[in-house]
Amino acid sequence: MSFGDPNNPYGPPQQPQPGQQQPGYPGYPQQQGYGYPTAPQGQPGYGYPQAPPVPQGYGYGMPQEMPGLVKTARVLLFILAGLQFLAGVVFGILAGVAGSSSDSLDTDGTRMVTGVVLLVAVLMLALGSLSVFLGVKFRSGGGGIRITTMVYASLMIVGSLLNIVRGAASTGSGVFGGIISLAFGGIILAAMISGGPWFNRPRY
């Protein structure tokens, strides 16, 4: 039985015999199937390259951890608030004692001393409340809290230097308190200068 002329281009394709090379272009490997060649396995596909991993920082869906120096400044504000409240109570008691003395003595000088001591007591209580407010707002506050704390710390430093100079010129009793207050103010101010990314972080 004849299977057709092998040289007839319109005849059915001839099946290669066992051991016979499949017809094709010499020097080129035979492709499997028709169409475009498939991409090799394990290679990246076509298109835009994959985006690099997003670095950790401040943003949505990322851990937002308060910097260590800002945490330290927050703790110092709470300690400072406790000392200011204690000073306010002590000065308030002194104002009450001076008021009782002014009632018995009824002099202008005693009344003036009572007014000054009472004013200091109110000032200490107000500063203690401000310290607590700023410390609490470190968690959720923005640039306004940072600027207010910077001004507060700067005034604290100036007052501490004045106390140190005045104490050194007199009895020296205010030098120790001035040094402690100066250290507190310096740490808080340094924390606000370096903690800008924390207070300016995006909030969603």
Q: Note every long-range contact of 123-128, with CB atoms under 8 Å and residues 24 or more positions apart, other chains counting.
A: 123/88, 124/84, 124/85, 124/87, 124/88, 124/91, 125/84, 125/85, 125/88, 127/84, 128/80, 128/81, 128/82, 128/83, 128/84, 128/85, 128/88
The tens digit of pLDDT for each residue in 122-177 reads 999 999 999 999 999 998 888 999 999 999 999 999 999 998 888 777 666 668 88
Structure tokens at 144: 């306004």
Domain of residue 137, residue span: 68-199
Predicted local distance difference test score (pLDDT) of residue 146: 94
Domain assignment of residue 129, yes or no: yes
Domain assignment of residue 140, yes or no: yes
Give Cβ neighbours of residue 200 (< 8 Å, ≥ 6 apart): 142, 143
Please give the Cα distance from 83 to 67 (Å, whole number): 25
**In the chain, pLDDT over 70 holds for what percent of residues?**
61
Domain assignment of residue 11, yes or no: no
Predicted local distance difference test score (pLDDT) of residue 61: 44
The tens digit of pLDDT for each residue in 58-93 reads 444 444 688 999 999 999 999 999 999 999 999 999
The tens digit of pLDDT for each residue in 166-180 reads 877 766 666 888 899
Domain assignment of residue 12, yes or no: no
Pairwise pLDDT comparison (202 vs 89), residue with the higher score? 89
Please give the Cα distance from 160 to 138 (Å, whole number): 24
Domain assignment of residue 5, yes or no: no
Domain assignment of residue 43, yes or no: no
Predicted local distance difference test score (pLDDT) of residue 110: 74
Strands (E), 31-131: none
Q: Residue 67: what are its φ and ψ, rounded to 5°?
A: -60, 155
Number of domains forming the structure of the chain? 1
* SS3 of residue 193 by DSSP: helix
Q: Please report the sign of the dihedral spanned by the C-alpha atoms of residue 75, residue 152, residue 131, residue 159.
A: positive
**In the chain, pLDDT over 90 holds for what percent of residues?**
40
User: Which of 57, 204, 74 shows the shortest CA–CA distance to 139?
Assistant: 74
Domain assignment of residue 86, yes or no: yes
Predicted local distance difference test score (pLDDT) of residue 114: 83
Domain assignment of residue 192, yes or no: yes
Give the mean pLDDT of the chain: 77
Structure tokens at 71: 């945490």
Please give the Cα distance from 200 to 122 (Å, whole number): 33
Please give the Cα distance from 186 to 155 (Å, whole number): 11
